[in-house]
């Protein structure tokens, strides 16, 4: 993962969470709460089909013209499978969920101000957490990529920073690359916001996807963790949790 040695510190989390969500690699009865919603969502979706535009794309303003690939619609939910309230997200906090596949991690961020995202303040965005450089991603044991509120030696504040080789992305501008070797922005997760319910739903991906190279590179590791289910589409709900709960160690750089 790392091409050169750099000083990196780690923020440790108290536990490595596991639940009945598909994104945690669990199957069977533990995901039964989501089965019905999954089927409905699957039938209602046009998985993998390309669409030219989506009116609810939170990134339409910054990435106008970039095609959106629509995947199955998935509600962002808590560990009990209940839709999270968008207004309860803590600003400048790393939240992790899996979309559009059970093994592909994404970051959910509330930047605390209007950046053309979704939510009451249009402050919420989400991006694939697979770095476009060498595909570092948040695994349960460690994450080299995360949002940082404050500036550090290698990055300005309010950036998504991959400590593996110091690629820096701007989440307020469609996660475009602002520093480092990454060749492309992080792929954006298209979110729909239900203002009446204050709920969020992931419906597609916009930008350069890294899913196929990710599945190829980490095939063995993913098979150990997910069996043959890593490529399974996320179904009706996907669990959102703080990155500090999901990862044992988060690189600081
Ligand atoms: S994997 Fe090299 S900067 Fe992220």
Q: How confident is the model at residue 43 (pLDDT cuts 50, 70, 90)?
A: very low
What residues contact 161, with CB distance under 8 A and at least 6 apart? 145, 146, 147, 148, 152, 154, 155, 167, 168, 169, 253
- Tell me the CA–centroid distance for residue 99 and ligand 1, in Å: 20
Residue 23 has pLDDT above 50, yes or no: no
- Tell me the CA–centroid distance for residue 85 and ligand 1, in Å: 32
Q: Which of 47-61, 134-148, 154-168, 200-214 has the lowest mean pLDDT?
A: 47-61
Of all residues in the chain, what percent carry a pLDDT higher than 70? 75
Q: How confident is the model at residue 63 (pLDDT cuts 50, 70, 90)?
A: low
How confident is the model at residue 9, as a pLDDT? 54
What residues contact 200, with CB distance under 8 A and at least 6 apart? 75, 76, 83, 84, 86, 108, 118, 119, 124, 191, 192, 193, 194
Of 139, 143, 162, which is best to mutate to test ligand 1, by the most ligand atoms within 8 angstroms of its C-beta? Answer: 162
pLDDT tens digits, 154-163: 999 999 999 9
What residues contact 5, with CB distance under 8 A and at least 6 apart? none
Return the structure tokens found at 220: 């063995």
Looking at every residue in the chain, the average pLDDT score rounds to 82
- Nearest protein CA to atom 3 of ligand 1, as residue: 165
Residue 48 has pLDDT above 60, yes or no: no
Find tokens 């046009």 and name the residue: 46
Q: Which residue from 221, 189, 175 is spatially nearest to 73, judged by alpha carbons?
A: 189
pTM of the shown model: 0.81
Q: Which of 33-37, 159-163, 186-190, 194-198 has the lowest mean pLDDT?
A: 33-37
Rounded mean pLDDT of 80-109? 98
Alpha-carbon distance of 91 to 119, in angstroms, equals 12
Residue 120's SS3 state is: coil
Q: Which of 15-29, 101-115, 144-158 has the lowest mean pLDDT?
A: 15-29
- Nearest protein CA to atom 1 of ligand 1, as residue: 134
Fold of 9-252: Rieske Iron-sulfur Protein (2.102.10)
Alpha-carbon distance of 52 to 72, in angstroms, equals 16
Return the structure tokens found at 224: 């150990």
Between 64 and 60, whose confidence is greater?
Answer: 64
Polymer length of the chain: 253
Of 105, 107, 164, 168, which is best to mutate to test ligand 1, by the most ligand atoms within 8 angstroms of its C-beta? Answer: 164
- Tell me the CA–centroid distance for residue 157 and ligand 1, in Å: 18
What residues contact 111, with CB distance under 8 A and at least 6 apart? 91, 92, 117, 123, 124, 125, 158, 171, 172
How confident is the model at residue 235, as a pLDDT? 82
Pocket residues for ligand 1 (CB within 6 Å)? 131, 133-134, 136, 162, 164-165, 167, 180-182
């Amino acid at each position: 993962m790392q091409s050169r040695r750099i000083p990196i510190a780690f923020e440790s989390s108290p536990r490595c969470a596991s639940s009945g969500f598909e994104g945690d690699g669990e199957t069977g009865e533990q995901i039964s709460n989501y089965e019905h919603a999954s089927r409905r969502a699957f039938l209602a979706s046009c998985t993998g089909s390309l669409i030219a535009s989506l009116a609810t794309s939170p990134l339409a303003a910054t990435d106008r013209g970039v095609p959106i690939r629509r995947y199955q619609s998935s509600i962002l939910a808590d560990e009990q499978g209940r839709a999270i309230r968008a207004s309860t997200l803590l600003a400048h906090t790393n939240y992790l969920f899996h979309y559009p596949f059970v093994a592909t991690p994404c970051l959910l961020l509330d930047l605390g101000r209007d950046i053309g995202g979704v939510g009451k303040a249009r402050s919420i965005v989400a991006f694939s957490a697979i770095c476009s450089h060498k595909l570092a991603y948040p695994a349960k044991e460690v994450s080299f990529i995360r949002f940082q509120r404050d500036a550090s030696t290698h990055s300005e504040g309010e950036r998504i920073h991959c400590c593996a080789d110091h690629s820096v992305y701007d989440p307020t501008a469609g996660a475009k690359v602002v520093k480092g070797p990454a060749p492309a922005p992080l792929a954006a997760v298209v979110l729909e916001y239900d203002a009446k319910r204050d709920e969020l739903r992931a419906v597609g991906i916009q930008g350069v996807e890294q899913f196929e190279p990710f599945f190829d590179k980490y095939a063995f590791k993913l098979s150990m963790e997910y069996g043959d289910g890593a490529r399974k589409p996320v179904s009706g709900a996907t669990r959102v949790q703080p990155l500090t709960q999901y990862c044992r160690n988060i690189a600081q750089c």
